[in-house]
Amino acid sequence: MWVGGVRGCALGWEGAGPACACDELSGHLRRLFALPIPLNRAAVVDLEALPGIGPVRAQAIVVERKRGGAFERVDDLVRVPGLGRLRVERLRPELFVGAADPACSGDWS
């Protein structure tokens, strides 16, 4: 089964797990399919979809990303006020940093 996303993206199940045709899916759709969210491209609303991240922390992440530059790794989230190492560790499987989405493979669009 495949579900359409934005700008022609498709999301569905390939083999044993989720797969998507591009990385421009919303954070809420990514959460629905248990796909990681791109930390350096996520909007506030996408970050709010993460467990334990409400509107205030989501905004703080975006502000820090603009102020301090792109995050080089998920661990860099400790730069954000209110995000300690334990919370960052819990968020690790929910996020990714880099151009290639680790949950996406192939091009089915």
Q: Is residue 91, in this structure, part of any structural domain at all?
A: yes
- Among 45-49, 54-58, 102-106, the range scoring the smallest mean pLDDT is 102-106
Q: Which domain holds residue 43?
A: 2-96
**106 vs 49: CA distance, rounded Å:** 25
Q: Is residue 107, in this structure, part of any structural domain at all?
A: no
Total count of domains within the chain: 1
Q: Is residue 55, in this structure, part of any structural domain at all?
A: yes
Q: What is the pLDDT of residues 61-72, one digit of tens each?
A: 999 999 999 999
Q: Is residue 104, in this structure, part of any structural domain at all?
A: no
Residue 18 near residue 34, CB atoms below 8 Å? yes
- pTM for the full predicted model: 0.73
Q: What is the pLDDT of residues 1-43, one digit of tens each?
A: 555 554 455 556 666 555 555 556 677 777 777 778 889 989 9
Q: How confident is the model at residue 108 (pLDDT cuts 50, 70, 90)?
A: very low
Q: Where are the beta strands (DSSP E) in 15-96?
A: 17-20, 37-38, 95-96
Q: Is residue 23, in this structure, part of any structural domain at all?
A: yes
Whole-number pLDDT of residue 17: 59
